[in-house]
Amino acid sequence: MVNLSPAELRDYLEQKQPLLLDVREPWEFDICRLQDSELVPMGRIPTWAEDADKDRPTVVICHHGIRSRQVAMYLENLGFREVINLAGGVERWAREVDPQMATY
């Protein structure tokens, strides 16, 4: 698993089109999200992972980067090849990359 800061992820997204996997709850996702991210709450990850593409680069996102780090480690253990954790989550993304993003 790789941890990328918001600025590093912004630069990475200019080069690649990974799956942006948001593992927060729907109410959190409704407040703010990275563009083109897919919501799969943390509790649904085991079922989601059964049919997911393990070869597609996957960026895991949450509020502060803690849940996403846990999910990223879990996905790596399942054999996902390129897993990235957004360090600091959407909270840090809003502070460092997108100050117009709503926060909570």
Q: Which residues are catalytic?
A: 62
> Got the DSSP string for 30-45?
HH---TT-EE--GGGH
Pull the structure tokens for residue 52.
Answer: 């997911």
Q: What is the dihedral of CA 15, 18, 23, 27, to 10 degrees?
A: 70
